[in-house]
Amino acid sequence: MQKKEINRVVLAFSGGLDTSVIVHWLKENYDCEVIAFAADVGQGEDLEPLPERAEAAGAADIHIRDVREEFASQYVMPALKAQAVYENGYPLATALARPLISKHLVDIAREYDADAVVHGSTGKGNDQVRFEVSARALAPDIEVLAPVRHWELNTREDEIEYADRHNIPVEATAESPYSYDRNLWGVSIECGPLEDPWNRPPEEVYLWTANPLEAPDEPEELTLEFEQGKPVALNGNKLDLVDLIEQLNDLAGRHGVGRIDMVENRLVGIKSREIYEAPAAVVLLEAHRALMDIVLDRDVYHQLQRLSPKYSELVYNGLWFSDVRESLDAFVNRSQERLTGEVRLRLYKGSAVVNGRRSPESLYDRSLSTYDEGDEFDQSLAPGFVRLWGLPLEVAGRRRGRQ
């Protein structure tokens, strides 16, 4: 491929050491102008110091966008409706935010007539895949650069030394051994002592959840209301999605709900120990599932359950902007047209347990299921049904008898 000239780039900027060093490195290696971009995806970090840091690092301009609403409604919602949970544990917080960030990078690149977008991910992870595949899907004519994959700064010390040498101010905070990525849908934590999968996670790694052992001794009941698969109210209060998720993170986090400890399979073939905190995600996925139990037709429900692992793989593997994801969404959305109703749960020392569900669209029919008074199920229909249902096995049994 012919190498395009790079005059101006847009960088996904966090204000941390890596992306600050990247600003300078890009200018040095490409002699280009660097536009920084930072998104508020609900990470709960202060973004106010970012413009100053971007400028100090040498960026020509910075854009900060609050994309929480877009993230919640267009990325988190489809994933919740599809019950997308990677390898039975990870609700995909990081994986869902990357395509959104790429979309805005590309958007700003167009605005500035930039030649490339830049991310700070390494060559060993999933995030590089998500950033790049998403950016190329949306803008095949724009380059994607990933300096961390080929620069000569191999350790944190190298980066600090580089920053000092080039007068890039870096925060002198005590270095945490952990790597964090956060947004509305959860916190992802890696590195340090977690790299030994036998090590119990030190209590200090957790940012959003109480230790279940120290969580309140009183359980807390809550109700969630859904309309067409979308959570719309918490404890009777109508809330927009962002507020609902944020409040639920608080509420469930206080009870130690949402801690996940797993070893997962990265797309690049590496197994990786991960800690996640996803209080709202865990509660909403549970509640949503419980509502589907009563509302969805059996076959539709089973089909959705088959598609969930596929959906989560697509998201995990960076294929958000694909026809297949959109096609699956079409099925999922159709399946949730009647998914309206309420679920109640109890939060207690790390668990969120559903203990009630109701819906005007419920298919649950007590006159059919009851063993008490009011039974309308005609049991005389059962013998023929059961006999024919098992007929193939009966025939096979007769063959075995002959042999």
Instruction: Return residues touching ligand ARG (CB under 6 A).
Output: 94-95, 126, 179-181, 188, 190, 272, 274
φ, ψ dihedrals at 192, nearest 5°: 60, -140
**Structure tokens of 239?**
């809330």
- In terms of CB distance, is 159 or 274 closer to ligand ARG? 274
Which residues are CB-neighbours of 337 under 8 A, at least 6 positions away? 228
> Judging by beta carbons within 10 Å of its beta carbon (0-12, 13-18, 19+), is residue 91 exposed, middle or buried?
buried
Q: Which of 66, 156, 164, 179 is catalytic?
A: 179
Q: How far is the CB of 269 from ligand ARG (least distance, A)?
A: 13
- In terms of CB distance, is 249 or 336 closer to ligand ARG? 249
Catalytic residue list contains 156: no
- In terms of CB distance, is 271 or 302 closer to ligand ARG? 271
- Coil, helix or strand for 239? coil
- Side-chain half-sphere exposure of 190, counting CA atoms within 13 A: 15
Q: How far is the CB of 297 from ligand ARG (least distance, A)?
A: 33
Helices 279-295 + 241-254 axis angle, to 10: 110
User: Are 95 and 121 a contacting pair, CB within 8 Å?
Assistant: no
d(CA 108, CA 102): 10
User: Are 68 and 184 a contacting pair, CB within 8 Å?
Assistant: yes
- In terms of CB distance, is 102 or 126 closer to ligand ARG? 126
Q: Which of 98, 182, 259, 273 is catalytic?
A: 98
Q: How far is the CB of 99 from ligand ARG (least distance, A)?
A: 12
Question: Helices then strands (H, E): number in the chain?
Answer: 14, 14
Catalytic residue list contains 179: yes
Q: Which helix (H) or strand (E) segment is 189 a member of?
A: strand 186-190
The separation between CA 144 and the C-alpha centre of its own chain, rounded to angstroms, equals: 23
Q: How far is the CB of 179 from ligand ARG (least distance, A)?
A: 4
Q: How far is the CB of 182 from ligand ARG (least distance, A)?
A: 9
- In terms of CB distance, is 121 or 335 closer to ligand ARG? 121
Total Cβ atoms within 10 A of residue 94: 24
- In terms of CB distance, is 37 or 348 closer to ligand ARG? 37
d(CA 234, CA 225): 7
Catalytic residue list contains 240: no
d(CA 29, CA 147): 10
- Side-chain half-sphere exposure of 261, counting CA atoms within 13 A: 12
Catalytic residue list contains 113: no
d(CA 94, CA 3): 31
Q: Which of 14, 18, 115, 188 is catalytic?
A: 18
Q: How far is the CB of 83 from ligand ARG (least distance, A)?
A: 17
**Structure tokens of 399?**
């063959």
- In terms of CB distance, is 144 or 315 closer to ligand ARG? 315
Q: How far is the CB of 347 from ligand ARG (least distance, A)?
A: 25
Beta pairing, strands 271-277 & 237-238: unpaired
Beta pairing, strands 8-12 & 116-118: parallel
Which residues are annotated as catalytic?
18, 98, 127, 179
